[in-house]
Structure 1
Amino acid sequence: MTRSDVTFDAAGSAVVAALTALIVQLDEAERAAVVDEPDAVHQARILVRRLRSVLRTFRPLFERAAVEQLRASLAEVGDALGRVRDLEVRVEHAQRHLTGDSPREMRERLVDDEQARYRAAHADLVAFLGVGGHGQGILEFVSAPPYAGRASRHAPKALARLLEREYRRVRRAARGATDDLDSLHRLRKAARRLRYACEAVTEVRAVVFGDEVAEVADAAQDVQDVLGDHRDEVLFAMQVQQAGEDASVEGEPIDAYTAVADAALAGAARRLDDLPDALRTLRKRARWLKKSA
């Protein structure tokens, strides 16, 4: 697609179209999550994050209070989904790292106990989603969008400016990042928000930009994936270390725990080696945004 193929003139209407498409997907994903279909909780959590990211990036197009109210409601849904998904990830990592030779007690701690916590958390999620309420707020937002004055501006120029501003946040987070989890997590969230905002205005229902912005999204995803894999491995290693401490208190050998934790930390370090290249690629592709803003 070229710039001449733009299907939206007003920036606000393009974003509302993107939000509407995401709402439909979230409704389907939540129903799948309730019956615990494979990967459904994960997909629902992603869609909540997409919605919150799009609202945050393009907030200047709408009344600020309305955006923040909706983002807060979505955050509650995301937290409920996140509690279940985090346990799911822990089980997945344990199953990948453990072998048939792993001690039975270790498997009980890192797999069986976590699966029990997952079932309990999923029951809480089902109860939470059954109460509902957040869906109505989303529908009201897109049915009668609380536009601000900037919403009527020409879509390509206005949206490119907001996307470029989002990239500057990534750049600042990258400059402030060290090897600690908090700063790397801030960078990951900034890259994720840029990715989701770019995808929102390059995909069906809200096609404003073409390959140039889609490539920015791809590069932002690479940064997000590197940091996500790193974080998951580090958090899993910390979990294993804690389980090893519990095993030690019970008088059990901890060599297997130490080996798994060390392997996870080594994998995290290897993944982080990919970050400089990912950031360089993103910087190159984001130049298009600055030229178009």
Structure 2
Amino acid sequence: MFSLVAVSAELAEQLVAVESGGEDAVHQARTRVRRLRSILGVYKRAFDVEQNDRMRARLKALGDRLGEVRDLEVRAAALEDLLEVDDAPETIEAVEALAAEHRSAHASALASLVRHLDTRGHRRLLADLQFYAAEPPLRGRGRKHPRRIIRRGLRSATKRVLADGDDSLEALHATRKAARRLRYAAEAVADDLGRKAVRLAAEAEAIHDALGDHRDATLLARLLRENGLPGPAVRAEHAAAAALEPLDALLDALRD
């Protein structure tokens, strides 16, 4: 139900890849954790409250570990990609030093993550998750009226994306997370709802990507200014502004 078995199996596979140094494995594992948390959150009315909350909390802890590693990797790559051939030598040197710091921090965080994946607690989580996915603790309404729960869940998730908010970075980040949650929840029921769910997922993904690009560029610009690098910071700020340009149209499409 809700693709839990498939996504949990993919997560286990990607975590093994993390331990063996697989390319992009941390990113893929983090994505699977987010998918599972989105499904359990949007369709929470289908599940036993206590067991569902406990599993979501355990997945969040794993997701936080994966996120720490992934964010450092992304920031290092963004710093390296920001340089241009006509940058002053001192600017290139400073940006490369920042990137190296993030690469070093990434390596340290990755090593810590790999050690965690070899613990008894982590193995217990994977075993419990496999059982949870195969035999989800459904409530009566989850067994009797799954389509009703799906529709209500998606309506509520859509309203969270469209909720009025200010233009602060944190408010936009909340909208981004809501869009991601909606996307994964819609994709999980595409076989049941067909093209409507596919379209909903695509619209939510576009909103999430635009806001993600904006946030990454904004935070990068702050880092650069804090380190006395206004030139590269301006380029990051321009990228942040450009990322927001299609947002209103994307939200209107979802609203329609």
Name the TM-score, length of structure 1 as normaliser: 0.82
Confirm or deny: 8 A CA contact 2:79 2:96 kept in the other structure.
no
Where do 4+ consecutive residues of structure 1 move more than 4 Å? none
Where 2:193 maps in the other structure, the secondary structure is: coil
Q: Could you say which residue in structure 2 is the equivalent of 1:225?
A: 209
Moved more, 92-101 or 264-273: 92-101
Q: Could you say which residue in structure 2 is the equivalent of 1:167?
A: 158
1:196 aligns with 2:184: yes
Structure 1 position 142, deviation (Å): 2.2
Q: Could you say which residue in structure 2 is the equivalent of 1:212?
A: 196
1:262 aligns with 2:253: no
Q: Could you say which residue in structure 2 is the equivalent of 1:88?
A: 73
Q: Could you say which residue in structure 2 is the equivalent of 1:249?
A: none
Q: How many corresponding residue pairs? A: 250
Moved more, 27-36 or 62-71: 27-36
Match of 2:142 among 151, 167, 177: 151
Structure 1 position 35, deviation (Å): 2.6
Aligned-residue RMSD, C-alpha: 1.4
Where 1:122 maps in the other structure, the secondary structure is: helix
Moved more, 159-168 or 94-103: 94-103
Q: Could you say which residue in structure 2 is the equivalent of 1:186?
A: 174
Q: Could you say which residue in structure 2 is the equivalent of 1:278?
A: 250
Letter in 2 for 1:115: R
Work out the CA distance in 2 between the residues paired with 1:35 and 1:136.
Answer: 20
- Structure 1: any 5+ residue segments left out of the alignment? 1-13, 245-256, 285-293
Higher RCO, Cα 8 Å, sep 6+? 1
Q: Could you say which residue in structure 1 is the equivalent of 2:221?
A: 237
Q: Which has the larger radius of gyration?
A: 1
Structure 1 position 140, deviation (Å): 2.5
Q: Could you say which residue in structure 2 is the equivalent of 1:115?
A: 103
Work out the CA distance in 1 between the residues paired with 2:4 and 2:201.
Answer: 17
Q: Could you say which residue in structure 2 is the equivalent of 1:288?
A: none
Identity %: 37
Confirm or deny: 8 A CA contact 2:8 2:133 kept in the other structure.
no
Letter in 2 for 1:164: R
Q: Deviations over 1:66-120 (max 9, x none)?
A: 0110011111111111111111111111111013445353134221111111110
Q: Deviations over 1:152-182 (max 9, x none)?
A: 234333311221121122222xx11x22111
